[in-house]
Structure 1
Amino acid sequence: MSVMVKTALIQTCTPATSRAGLAHITPLIRQAAAEGVEFVLTPEGSNFLEQRKGLREEALSDEATDEAVLGLQALAAELNIWLLIGSVIVRSGIEGDDRAANRSLLIDPQGRITARYDKMHVFDVDLDTGERWRESAVIRPGSQAVVADTPWGGLGLTICYDVRFAYLHRALAQGGASLLTVPAAFTRPTGEAHWEVLLRARAIETGSFVLAPAQGGTHEDGRKTWGRSMVITPWGEVIAKLDHDQPAILHATLDLSLVDAARRAIPALTHDRQFVSGQ
């Protein structure tokens, strides 16, 4: 018998403070739960998005005291759902390093945090549009890949720019993940060019479901994000997709038997070979 899971991806245009971020996302999560969803996923930066230095420092707090984190834990317990907070921006807690962590949190139906993942690959880039991003200046990269336990199997956690690093997703799949999450706040130029093709590639090469809830729209700090949240099967088929960047709920029911079917058809995860790099 197939294992089925009803999911909802929340697409947001998150405000610049944690209190406002919680108020923005809560009605969407409530609506998804009322529609019978078991597993809800939110985007990167679900507590706040703010790149202006002074305002960002005012908004930043510890994970244990962040208003959005605490509020979403309570909400998951109230609604009896699994909730992936795609990421929150919180203090890293590392002595001597004042950069923040960009952290995914998996919350169970009792409101407990059961897994954490700190974004490993930070976005440092100069775009042809003139946009310049130096995420490493404010975000401390994580160093540990995470496969979390869920009632539906292993959940491989990634965040945004991680999607460009195939080896991470391969390691997660080989480590037991059948679902890969890619919460994001993609820029418009890179989103339009690469978002869907990268997500589909990660699904195909690992034989995994990919769930990618996204930020979309123009934010209070002036940044513009791409939206277009989507869900992709282990065969690379897009089974649910938003065609805009407005706040919304994207529903998808996942048939987990498709993971085994895809990996039997193309067992690439078992075909690794040692090689010597060319000169």
Structure 2
Amino acid sequence: MKFNAACLQLTSNDQPKENLDQVIKLSDQAVKDGAQIILTPENTFLLTLDEGVLNEKSEDHEKGFCINEIIKYAKSNSIWFLIGGTPVKENNNIFNRSVLISPKGEMVTTYDKIHMFDVNLPNGESYEESKKFKAGESLSVTKLPWGNLGLSICYDLRFPNHYRQLMKKGADFLAVPSAFTKNTGERHWHILLRSRAIENFCYVLAPAQTGKHFNNRETYGHSMIVSPDGVVLSEKKEDIGLIISEIDIEKVKKIRSEIPSISFD
């Protein structure tokens, strides 16, 4: 069974409505190009390192304006839509949350980023996600019409067991929405994405943030769709835009039968 998946590449800022407008514009193009599922990067509607702005502009899980606009959009266009990651308030906490929406406009499942990005980079960049976000605790694998989608967000990519567990729960496709720093992206992004695909014989769908943001943060871009045997099917190296590729569940089954390494776990 085949379907078309589109990954959007954004340069988000701290103005949710502006980011939403960009998502809708690119999604219109993706729909025109035949996308049946659209995926957006981490920090889709709000990218900020300012804790005050984060608290002020993070969306309510049920009543968030941007989330509900995408729910309407998915329903009106009869497509699946993964908001890859956006700050969401719930129970006095802020989560870095993926939201999967069905063509009927239903919020099918959510995933809260488990691995917090707490690092000090050699170039002076410092990130302390655990001080701003509450980490998630549960893995998420959801049945789509074509197979099963396993969810993750950005820094999760560095933890192979996260994806092994998703595969063991039945995942055929792995979503890796990200806002990788330029510094670490240049060194590790491609090889990590291809490795997760090959290790688990899953497609990897990786929409990304790109370019220089308003707060001098620079993200790597290079949104990619990777086949189960590690071939880069499509890549958007830089600038705002989108990529789209045909995904074939039979390729997952075929390569798993040819190289039965996953049966040893």
Decide which of 251, 258, 262 is 1:265's aligned counterpart: 258
Residues 92-112 of structure 1, C-alpha deviations (whole Å, 9 max, x = no match): 32xxxx541001111001111
- Number of aligned residue pairs: give it: 265
Provide the identity percentage: 37
- CA radius of gyration, larger in: 1
Matches within 5 A, 1:137-156: 137-156=131-150
Indicate the SS of the match to 1:177.
coil
**Counterpart residue number, 1:165:** 159
Map of 1:156-195 to 2, 5 A cutoff? 156-195=150-189
Are 1:42 and 1:213, in contact at CA under 8 Å, matched by a contact in 2?
Answer: yes
Please name the residue that 1:132 is paired with. 126
Q: How far apart, in 2, do the equivalents of 1:111 and 1:218 lie?
A: 33
Contact 1:15 1:21 in 2 (8 A): yes
Q: CA deviation at 1:53?
A: 2.5
Give distance in 2, aligned partners of 1:133 and 1:15: 17
Q: Give the RMSD, CA atoms, in angstroms.
A: 1.1
Q: After TM superposition, give the deviation of residue 59 of structure 1 in Å.
A: 1.1
Cα deviation, residue 242, structure 1: 1.2
How many angstroms apart in 2 are the aligned matches of 1:112 and 1:142?
22
Which of 2, 5, 9 matches 2:3?
5
Give the TM-score normalised by structure 2: 0.97
User: Distance between the aligned counterparts of 2:75 and 2:94, measured in 1?
Assistant: 27
Residue aligning to 1:29: 27
Q: Deviation digits for residues 60-97 of structure 1, max 9, x if unmatched?
A: 2311122210111111111111001101111132xxxx
Matches of 1:187 and 1:209, distance apart in 2: 23
Contact kept in structure 2, 1:99 and 1:137, CA below 8 Å: no
Aligned-pair distance for 1:264? 1.1
Cα shift readout 1:228-263 (whole Å, capped 9, x = no counterpart): 00011110111111122x110101111111101111
Paired amino acid for 2:19: G
Structure 1 distance, partners of 2:262, 2:165, is 9
Residue 156 of structure 1 deviates from its aligned partner by: 0.3
Q: Is the 8 A contact 2:51 2:132 kept in 1?
A: no
53-62 vs 27-36, which moves further: 53-62
Equivalent residue for 2:42, pick from 37, 41, 44: 44
Give the corresponding residue for 1:230: 224
Which residue in the other structure is 1:275 paired with? none
Question: Secondary structure of 2:34's partner?
Answer: coil
Note the alpha carbon deviations across 1:198-242, whole angstroms, 9 max, x for none.
000000000000000001111122211110000111101111111
TM-score, length basis structure 1: 0.92
Following superposition, the deviation at residue 24 of structure 1 comes to: 1.8
Letter of the 2:90 counterpart: S
1:207 aligns with 2:201: yes
On the 8 A contact 2:60/2:88 being kept in 1, the answer is yes
1:160-186 Cα shifts (integer Å, max 9, x gaps): 000111111011111110000000000
**Aligned residue in 2 for 1:256:** 249
Shift of 1:118: 0.4
Q: Which residue of 1 aligns with 2:113?
A: 119
2:66 and 2:261 map into 1 onto residues whose CA distance is: 40
Contact preservation (8 Å) 1:18, 1:66: no
Unpaired stretches in structure 1, ≥5 consecutive residues = 273-279
Q: Report the Cα distance in structure 2 between the residues aligned to 1:211 and 1:61, rounded to whole angstroms.
A: 25
After the TM superposition, which of the residue ranges 225-234 and 16-25 deviates more from structure 2? 16-25
- 1:276 aligns with none
